[in-house]
Amino acid sequence: MATPAATPRPQVDFAFVRQQITMEQVLRRLGFFEGLRGRGQQRRGPCPKHGQASDGKGAFSVHLGKNVCQCFQADCPIQGNVLDLWAALHQLPHYEAALHLAETFHLKRNREEEHVDGTR
C-alpha cells in the first residue's frame, strides 16, 4: 500500500510578514497596549508573558517606531520583533507563529501569495 504524499508546507517570507504588521497592532490585539506607559515611540509596562497590569512593574519595553520589544526580567524569553513576541506568547516555533500571525491578522505569507483568506 502506498503512503500518501505529505502535504507541502506553505512558504513563509518572515520579513514580509513582519512588514505588514506593527508592534502596536499586535499589542492592541493581545490587550496589552493600554497598560503601557510613556509617550512617543518608547513605552514601558508589565510584560505580556509574566506581568500583570496591576503589578506596577515596567520590565517590558517596546519601541513602536522600530517594532521591537524586550523584557528585562532575567528569565523572560521576550525580545525582538512582532514575530518573536507572537511566538513567545503563543509558545510556537517561528514558522508556526508566522502562519498563526498571518491567519489572525489576515496577512499575506509571502509576496507572491494572493491572500490567506482569499477575500481581499
> pTM value?
0.81
**pLDDT at 120 exceeding the cut of 70:** no
Q: Residue 61, by phi and psi: left (phi above 0), alpha (psi -120 to 50) or beta?
A: beta
Q: How many CA atoms lie within 13 A of 35 on its CB side?
A: 20
Q: How confident is the model at residue 77 (pLDDT cuts 50, 70, 90)?
A: confident
Residue where the block lists cell 514580509 = 16
Percent of the chain with pLDDT over 90: 68
What is the number of residues in the chain?
120
Tell me the mean pLDDT in the region 27-34.
95
Class of domain 14-105: alpha beta
User: What are the sequence ranges of the domains in the chain?
Assistant: 14-105
Sheet (strand 79-80) strand order = 42-45, 60-63, 68-71, 79-80
Spatial distance between the Cα atoms of 27 and 22, rounded to a whole number of angstroms? 9
Q: Using one digit for the tens of pLDDT, what is the confidence trace for 87-117?
A: 999 999 999 999 999 999 999 998 886 444 4
Spatial distance between the Cα atoms of 35 and 54, rounded to a whole number of angstroms? 9
**pLDDT at 2 exceeding the cut of 90:** no
